[in-house]
Amino acid sequence: MNVGSRPVTVWLYVIGAFCLGVTAFVSGLLMILDPSAMTMGLEVEWLAGTPFQDFLIPGFILFSVLGIGSFVVLYGIARCRQWAWWPAVSLGVALVGWILTQVLLLRMYHVLQLIYGVLGVALILLAIHPATRSYHSGA
């Protein structure tokens, strides 16, 4: 099924990647500007046992890889660039990796981790869907 000239799978991917991009960009920027992340309700003590003293480096990774990265992928998808398919899959993989790393390092669980973990898997599945692959290959 197509909506306009894009398959529904592409539209769903765009919605998910846009939501990820906005939240990762803003959250990462807030962590960069306030590495204690107190304004976000986070506690530096949560980082005990991790390689991080504060939220600056995690914030930078969140801001750049998942925030800016989402918008780069969205640009490629919006312009129907063939190069956008691999980054689209990689974005989902990066999000799943981010969430797994959080769970393993912090040993804490929050409903947002489940939501973003599911979003990461959904982005992967939407990107590898045959309609999405066909759209990006120009077929």
pTM: 0.91
Is the model's pLDDT at 10 over the cut of 90? Answer: yes
What value does the mean pLDDT take over residues 121-131?
A: 96
Residue 17: band (very low, low, confident or very high) from pLDDT cuts 50, 70, 90: very high
Is the model's pLDDT at 122 over the cut of 80? Answer: yes
Cα 117 from Cα 93, distance rounded (Å): 10
At 93, is the secondary structure helix, strand, or coil?
helix
Write out the two tokens for 72.
């780069």
Residues 6+ apart with CB under 8 A from 71: 21, 25
Q: What is the pLDDT of residues 82-113, one digit of tens each?
A: 899 999 999 999 999 999 999 998 888 889 99
Residues 6+ apart with CB under 8 A from 130: none
Query: How many CB atoms lie under 10 A from the CB of residue 85?
Result: 19
When the pLDDT of each residue in the chain is averaged and rounded to a whole number, the result is: 93
Please give the distance of CA 94 from its chain centroid, rounded to a whole number. Answer: 7
Q: What pLDDT, on a 0 to 100 scale, did the predictor assign at position 130?
A: 94
* Domain limits, the chain: 2-137
